[in-house]
A and B are shown apart, each in its own frame.
Chain A
Amino acid sequence: MIETEILVIGGGVAGLLAATKATDEKLEVTVIDKGSGASYQSSGVIDVMGCPLGEATLKPIEGIAQVIECSPSHPYSVISSERNVTNVIKDAIRYLTSMASNRGVEFKGEIERNVVLLNTIGSFKLTCFYQSTMDRGVLHKLEGASLLVTGFKGLVGFNARFCSSSFKHFASKFNIELRKTSSTELSLPSLREFNLTIIELARMMDEDDFRKDLAKKLETEIAVNDVSHVALPTLGLKKPYENMRIFEEETGTSVFELVSPPPSVPAQRLMEALEEEAIERGVRIFRGYKAVGFEGEGRSIKSVTLASGEKRFPAKAKAYILATGKFIGGGIVEERDKVKETVFNLPLYDEKGEPLKRQNISRLLAKSPFPREGHPLMGCGVKVNAQMKPVVNDEVAYDNLFAAGSIISGYNYVREKSGMGVAAVTGYIAGMNAATHVEGG
């Protein structure tokens, strides 16, 4: 029933980027999205390369070079056989951040270096590009700062007192001296004092009255504590910059937002911005459909089968982009203890680019829950060539099929801190190549 020129399966960062990039070529692009995948569960910052080969680095470009040298099946290595990988990552991220910026979500950072950001669980996160609400809190800018970590009574998953002492410890590890760290736990009359989530708090921040009350509270706290920087778990969903400006003006300090694990408000801001921008540029998004199979003829995909309620029907396109993600997105599922790709039933490969022989979940998990080398399970996926076409035994599987994002094997974003960087660059390339494929007939 759906007929389009390019069909993108998956509406995460990779899928939306691919779709928008292809739309730039004046093609008709349709995204089908079953709901929300891993992008919504991300931290809303763009990691490019944080821990190549298991060692943290502050220099992503060097990290990428290391990866290209040592692991030939990594998507960055695969891309590097045809393009200058640093340049194309730069282009892809510039494209991603400009999409976000058009909808009011601003990014800062540069590919030359990783920054250390403090997070709501009291540790730090290494990343490359971050939303500008976090800018004042970049660790190397905090030298000599007197930091007040602001908690809220009843806020789940955030302990300001713990964070404040822990931040001091982590800062010293990076040779940054925080002059003083202190914490406070606010309770505001309009705020429930138990089981409050960060999403609820963010929503409250967007309300003028609440914001005013909070600014006043902060002012009092600051007067007692002698503070130069204020860290908040969130700055709001819709008006974070306005909130930041108001808090800064009222308190005369630098205010910033901490990175948080899911539920992450910055991630929701980013995803909403990307969706809005994609639609604005002409991408059609069909939500609530799930790709469950396909019709192929030789080396060409004829249609993808979509499920909606009890109905199954085909979606026809000239090119298809598989951006269904891994386990969170549903691109790979576990079925009777075996893992499989859900739409095209493509064979899966492991992180080293070898066909996944033993597909038993239990064999793809390391024994300890947080192993240094990561779980092999998170490195598996489909294998692609430099055009982002899935390959089987080194041959292109289908001429009109491309893949993007974490459905691709050869890297372990959990261990490596490269998730959104790979999503962006593979989405960008897949979008371009799919467009070229369609235009070339």
Chain B
Amino acid sequence: MSSMRRKELEHIDKVLAEEKIVVFSPYEDEIYSEIEKCQNCSLCLTFCPVFEATGEFYPGPRGIADELSRDVREFWRASSIVYMCTLCGRCQERCPVNVPIPEVVMLLRSKIFVQRPDLVPEGLKVLLENVSRYGYIFEPMNPEEREESLRGRLERIGLPLRGDPPLRSGLVAYFPGCQAETRLLEVKEAGKLVLEAFDVDYGIPEKWKCCGLPVRLIGDSAMADELQRSFLEEMERMNVTDVVVTCAGCASELKSATKRLGSGIRVRHLVELLFEEVGVETISRKARVSDKVKVTLHEPCHLSRHIGRYTIDYAEEILRALPNVDYVGMRGADECCGAGGLLKFHNPFVSATIRNKKLEKISRSGAEVVVAPCPLCSVNISEGAARKRVSVGVDDLAVFLARRIYSE
């Protein structure tokens, strides 16, 4: 580029900055052109869980297109819509012109975070502080409390407590995720036992941090990029080629991070690893015969729509392979549980309304236990079941599996 041209561009940038005019990057421009395809048909509203829960007060995905059509530079006008979104992705699936609505929502959140931080819900800013301070999205318990809680939980479900095997060069890295590290502690242990039972040579990365998804959901894409870049670099340094994840959200986010950063590391959810590497026959053979139980599957949005529906088939096949597990289908299995998009952390009321609708569907399936291959969904659904006195067992898939596979 000639120095004349460079000077010219610098001048243009300066004037734009003075005039407070925001320039789009090519990626942003591409996403904006996508939403311009919206035909205003409103089909998205029919499939939007937030719209179902709130009624006409939530203008839904269509509303985003509507707001942006007035003046794209005033993108922040859509802030109340995009922060209420659960990112479940049903709208995109149903959209006749296939507008990538979740991507639009993510982009708008990140732009709002930078240019109108005052519009970011307060409840989410707290979570962001957690990540800076502890590396996890939730505040961790102190070590003694954590161990006590963990022992209690494991005792209740009859699983042993093992140490974390350190990650050595070339092993499969097990990424437990914040929910399993700080809240639903047994998921991390169950994940370890399942991997161990199927002779997967794995280790847990020493200083892993949040996968970046919640950070990105809040809008801080710079921090999310940094978290993901440093994690993948560390994995590359350790000659890791495979990462296994028990959380649907972490799995989908890390998967897209590898794509974004051009990393060759293969990130898979536990169900993918089990189905592809271990196989249902082996799972079936290894599993203990336990009491007969009627089970249904909750399909986390981050597996079914963000990674792909095949993961759900994997999970279903794995459940069907277990002896004495009577698998029943559920209408609306792929609908959001209400915890998506961090909605639960700044609008618990709407989130709970969505959850209650999900619980109705779970009850209608007639299952005794609902299994979710995601600790975030599991916690959310079991909380709802307890509060609404719905008599259904809720298990994370890793825990459900470990209890049927682990023997002393």
- Smallest beta-carbon distance B405→chain A, Å: 23
**Are B56 and A191 interface neighbours, CB within 8 A?**
yes
Given contacts A279-B331, A310-B308, contact A198 B42 (CB under 8 A): yes
Chain B: which residue is nearest A268 at the CB level? B46
Chain A: which residue is nearest B98 at the CB level? A35
Check: B95 CB closer than 8 A to any chain A CB: yes
Check: A81 CB closer than 8 A to any chain B CB: no
- Smallest beta-carbon distance A40→chain B, Å: 6
Chain B, 264-303, CB within 8 A of any chain A CB: none
**Are B43 and A289 interface neighbours, CB within 8 A?**
no
A-B contacts at CB below 8 angstroms, number: 82
In the bound complex, residues from chain A placing their C-beta under 8 Å from that of B57 are: 192
**Are B96 and A1 interface neighbours, CB within 8 A?**
no
**Are A197 and B45 interface neighbours, CB within 8 A?**
yes
Complex Cα distance, B39 from A289, in Å, reads: 23
Complex Cα distance, B63 from A200, in Å, reads: 12
Chain B, 23-67, CB within 8 A of any chain A CB: 39-43, 45-46, 51, 55-57, 59, 62-63, 66
Could you say which interface size class chain A belongs to?
A: 35 or more
Complex Cα distance, B57 from A86, in Å, reads: 48
- Greatest chain B CB density within 10 A among A192, A204, A263, A310 is at A263
- Smallest beta-carbon distance A317→chain B, Å: 16
Number of B positions contacting A (CB below 8 A): 31
- Smallest beta-carbon distance B253→chain A, Å: 14
Check: A58 CB closer than 8 A to any chain B CB: no
Complex Cα distance, B55 from A293, in Å, reads: 40
- Smallest beta-carbon distance A327→chain B, Å: 10
Q: Which of B45, B59, B95, B307 contacts A309 (CB under 8 A)?
A: B307
Contact with A along B193-226 (1 / 0, CB 8 A): 0000000000000000000000000000000000
Contact with B along A65-80 (1 / 0, CB 8 A): 0000000000000000
Complex Cα distance, B331 from A2, in Å, reads: 20
In the bound complex, residues from chain A placing their C-beta under 8 Å from that of B331 are: 279
Complex Cα distance, B62 from A268, in Å, reads: 17
Complex Cα distance, B307 from A310, in Å, reads: 8
Complex Cα distance, B51 from A310, in Å, reads: 30
Given contacts A192-B57, A204-B56, contact A41 B41 (CB under 8 A): yes
Check: B181 CB closer than 8 A to any chain A CB: no
Complex Cα distance, B79 from A390, in Å, reads: 50
**Are B41 and A203 interface neighbours, CB within 8 A?**
no
Check: A36 CB closer than 8 A to any chain B CB: yes
**Are A287 and B42 interface neighbours, CB within 8 A?**
no
Check: A121 CB closer than 8 A to any chain B CB: no
**Are B46 and A199 interface neighbours, CB within 8 A?**
yes
Chain B, 94-120, CB within 8 A of any chain A CB: 94-96, 98
Check: B313 CB closer than 8 A to any chain A CB: yes
Secondary structure of the B side of the interface? helix
**Are B45 and A37 interface neighbours, CB within 8 A?**
no
Check: B378 CB closer than 8 A to any chain A CB: no
Check: A438 CB closer than 8 A to any chain B CB: no
Chain B: which residue is nearest A329 at the CB level? B96
Contact with A along B351-382 (1 / 0, CB 8 A): 00000000000000000000000000000000
Q: Which of A37, A279, A287 contacts B309 (CB under 8 A)?
A: A287
Check: B186 CB closer than 8 A to any chain A CB: no
In the bound complex, residues from chain A placing their C-beta under 8 Å from that of B188 are: none
**Are B309 and A289 interface neighbours, CB within 8 A?**
yes
**Are B56 and A262 interface neighbours, CB within 8 A?**
no
Check: A328 CB closer than 8 A to any chain B CB: yes
**Are A311 and B42 interface neighbours, CB within 8 A?**
no
Q: Which of B42, B56, B59, B93 contacts A288 (CB under 8 A)?
A: B93
Contact with B along A202-223 (1 / 0, CB 8 A): 0110010000000000000000
- Smallest beta-carbon distance A198→chain B, Å: 7
Q: Which of A37, A204, A207, A289 contacts B96 (CB under 8 A)?
A: A37
In the bound complex, residues from chain A placing their C-beta under 8 Å from that of B93 are: 34-35, 287-288
Q: Which of B55, B59, B313 contacts A1 (CB under 8 A)?
A: B313
- Smallest beta-carbon distance B313→chain A, Å: 6
In the bound complex, residues from chain B placing their C-beta under 8 Å from that of A311 are: 308, 310
Given contacts A204-B56, A262-B41, A262-B43, contact A287 B96 (CB under 8 A): no
In the bound complex, residues from chain B placing their C-beta under 8 Å from that of A196 are: 56
Complex Cα distance, B305 from A287, in Å, reads: 10
Check: A286 CB closer than 8 A to any chain B CB: yes
In the bound complex, residues from chain A placing their C-beta under 8 Å from that of B55 are: 200, 203-204, 207
**Are A197 and B309 interface neighbours, CB within 8 A?**
no
In the bound complex, residues from chain A placing their C-beta under 8 Å from that of B311 are: 309
In the bound complex, residues from chain B placing their C-beta under 8 Å from that of A1 are: 310, 313
- Smallest beta-carbon distance A38→chain B, Å: 8
**Are A200 and B309 interface neighbours, CB within 8 A?**
no
- Smallest beta-carbon distance B54→chain A, Å: 10
Check: A436 CB closer than 8 A to any chain B CB: no
Contact with A along B238-252 (1 / 0, CB 8 A): 000000000000000
Extra pairs beyond A192-B56, A287-B93 (13, CB < 8 Å): A36-B95, A40-B94, A195-B63, A195-B66, A197-B62, A200-B56, A201-B56, A203-B55, A262-B39, A262-B43, A263-B41, A309-B307, A309-B311
Q: Which 5 A-B pairs have the closest CB atoms?
A: A309-B308, A263-B42, A308-B308, A200-B56, A308-B310
Contact sample, A vs B, 22 pairs, CB 8 Å cutoff: A36-B95, A36-B96, A40-B94, A41-B96, A192-B57, A197-B45, A200-B56, A203-B51, A204-B56, A262-B41, A262-B43, A263-B41, A263-B43, A287-B309, A287-B334, A288-B93, A288-B334, A308-B308, A308-B310, A309-B306, A309-B309, A309-B311
